[in-house]
Amino acid sequence: MTDIHTQRIVVTGGAGFLGRHLIEELQSRGVPPANLLVPRRRDYDLTHEADVVRMYDDLRPDIVIHLAAEVGGIGANQAQPGRFFYANMAMGLHLLEQARQRPVKKFVQVGTICAYPKFTPVPFREEDIWNGYPEETNAPYGVAKKALLVMVQAYRQQYGLNGIYLLPVNLYGPGDNFDPQTSHVIPALIRKFCEAVDKGAAEVEVWGTGSASREFLYAKDAARAIALAAERYDAPDPVNVGAGFEITIRDLAEKIGAMTGFTGRLVWDPSKPDGQPRRCLDTRRALDQFGFKAEVGFDEGLKRTIDWWRAQQG
């Protein structure tokens, strides 16, 4: 058990989508705002070792929660595979190496479901993570994050660093990235359908065949899981963080279309990749080890996200 209330907590990526929700969650759990430290990229480029050293010297964290990542949907992963591997590997590498040299009491590494093999039996169990190579379109990102699991465990074994590793499923919610070039599937579809409704468009094009399945976790639920793990989990084994359900991309698109009021036709583009065939997590370990279970229902979470996006458009 870690007393998070009296510790200086650095949250890398704390100004990002998940990070903002995590900061709110930690404050709601009684962590004083003065103890929550968010390094900004303009001040510290975490892919550079010298900047990471300076960040630790300046902020003097007791706990590090590493959320910062360079990430995107299938298109972004295909466009920048080298950058996604380097940036994510370099950030974790430097942050962990400096943590073990300092009096850091806990390091929380947030990984990715993209680390799982392409053909993982559903539901994904944590033991399956080494049973194959990740899906090709996001493998560089997934392998970089997967390597950090090895590093966390190795540093625990050799140096006694109390590092834990979480595997969150695809996230969504208010504040998500809606950029057409880099967004994930839910914000991309919400934007497409809302714009189609506004323009009175007769059809919306969607990537792939629609046959792939995904699991989605509301970002506020994910933030609560990370806070609980930071407080209650101290073991080397990776832990899935998800909602424990799956939906096909076709059903997802039809659902978002209906919820946004789109009445036109969906046009599927099978020349674009589907990505990993199926994604759905076994979430029992998170419940057993630190009492996490998703609370926000999928339809409610989608409604909140759609409402948020429409409010941003005025």
The residues assigned a catalytic role are: 141
Q: 36 — phi, psi (to 5°)?
A: -100, 115
Furthest-apart CA atoms within the chain: distance in Å: 61
Q: Dihedral (C-alpha) 71, 73, 76, 82: value to the nearest 10 degrees?
A: 50
The single residue listed with the structure tokens 């625990």 is 156
- Count of residues for the chain? 314
Distance of CA 54 to the CA centre of its chain: 26
Read off the amino acid at residue 142.
G
- Residue 250 and residue 243: Cα distance in Å, rounded? 19
- Residue 269 and residue 227: Cα distance in Å, rounded? 40
DSSP letter, residue 141: H
- Residue 73 and residue 178: Cα distance in Å, rounded? 11
- Residue 214 and residue 209: Cα distance in Å, rounded? 14
Q: Look up residue 295 and give its two tokens.
A: 């609370």
Q: Which of 56, 62, 55, 60 is nearest to 7 (CA)?
A: 62
Radius of gyration of the CA atoms of the chain, in A: 19
Q: Dihedral (C-alpha) 203, 171, 18, 226: value to the nearest 10 degrees?
A: 170
